[in-house]
């Protein structure tokens, strides 16, 4: 068993196992991490609370396979919101060593108004009941969070909605990276890899 927590990669909209995290999976495995890919109903546009329950099952599956107490979660866009809901409301905190967020609309995005028929997009409109509940108190059980965002995101509008101003959260801006560009950003990958490696050296 490796001393590094296994990593689960969580996609945002349109993301499924074979078409989203290819580069990150390759680099993380090259750098010694055991990597697993999550997928969510209706291409992540389903109720994000339902997707969080899917994540809970995936975490238990990975823990059993790896013999690991905790996993690390890396979530892009809506995947980061799913991870936060799991940690906050589904007793995920003791099972998660670290959450890394990439381009996550923590306080919503107005681009979601383009598809109001979908449950997941309604939930990420600014001021939605889902976001109000998620951000009310925002207790993440002591799970450290690396939050990567970009002023040039283009999908999270306004871009500052991707900031997460909470204890235990490290916000890091990546210049000139678009929303999906974060998935191929060397700077973003280096920051996440560094955070995951710090957790290995830290006491449980």
Task: Identify the structural domains of the chain with CATH numbers, from first to last.
Answer: 7-201 (3.40.50.1820)
Yes or no: say if 74 and 48 are a contact pair by the CB < 8 Å rule. Answer: no
Predicted confidence at residue 1, as pLDDT, reads: 44
What pLDDT, in 10s, does the model give residues 152-189?
A: 999 999 999 999 998 889 999 999 999 999 999 999 99
Residues of the chain with pLDDT under 50: 1, 204
Predicted confidence at residue 6, as pLDDT, reads: 97
Predicted confidence at residue 79, as pLDDT, reads: 95
Q: 3-state class of 9 per DSSP?
A: strand
Predicted confidence at residue 139, as pLDDT, reads: 74
Predicted confidence at residue 182, as pLDDT, reads: 94
Predicted confidence at residue 17, as pLDDT, reads: 60
Predicted confidence at residue 13, as pLDDT, reads: 83
Q: Which residues contact 179 (CB under 8 A, 6 or more apart)?
A: 77, 103, 150, 153, 154, 155, 156
CB atoms within 10 A of CB 94: 12
Beta bridge partners of 149: 173
Predicted confidence at residue 108, as pLDDT, reads: 96
Residues 96 and 98: their CA atoms lie apart, in Å, by 6
Predicted confidence at residue 200, as pLDDT, reads: 72
């Amino acid at each position: 068993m490796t001393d590094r927590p296994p990593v689960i990669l969580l996609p945002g909209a349109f993301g499924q196992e074979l078409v989203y995290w290819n580069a990150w999976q390759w680099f993380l495995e090259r750098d010694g991490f055991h990597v697993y890919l999550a997928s969510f109903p209706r291409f992540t546009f389903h109720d994000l609370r339902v997707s969080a329950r899917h994540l809970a099952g995936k975490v238990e599956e990975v823990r059993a396979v790896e013999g690991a107490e905790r996993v690390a979660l890396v979530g892009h866009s809506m995947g980061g919101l799913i991870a936060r809901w799991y940690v906050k409301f589904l007793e995920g905190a003791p099972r998660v060593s670290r959450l890394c967020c990439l381009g996550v609309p923590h306080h919503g995005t107005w681009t979601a108004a383009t598809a109001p028929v979908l449950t997941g997009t309604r939930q990420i409109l600014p001021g939605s009941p889902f976001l109000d509940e998620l951000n009310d108190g925002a207790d993440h059980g002591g799970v450290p969070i690396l939050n990567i965002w970009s002023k040039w995101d283009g999908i999270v509008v306004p871009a500052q909605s991707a900031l997460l101003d909470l204890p235990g959260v490290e916000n890091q801006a990546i210049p000139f990276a678009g929303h999906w560009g974060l998935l191929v950003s060397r700077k973003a990958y280096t920051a996440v890899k560094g955070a995951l490696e710090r957790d290995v050296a830290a006491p449980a």
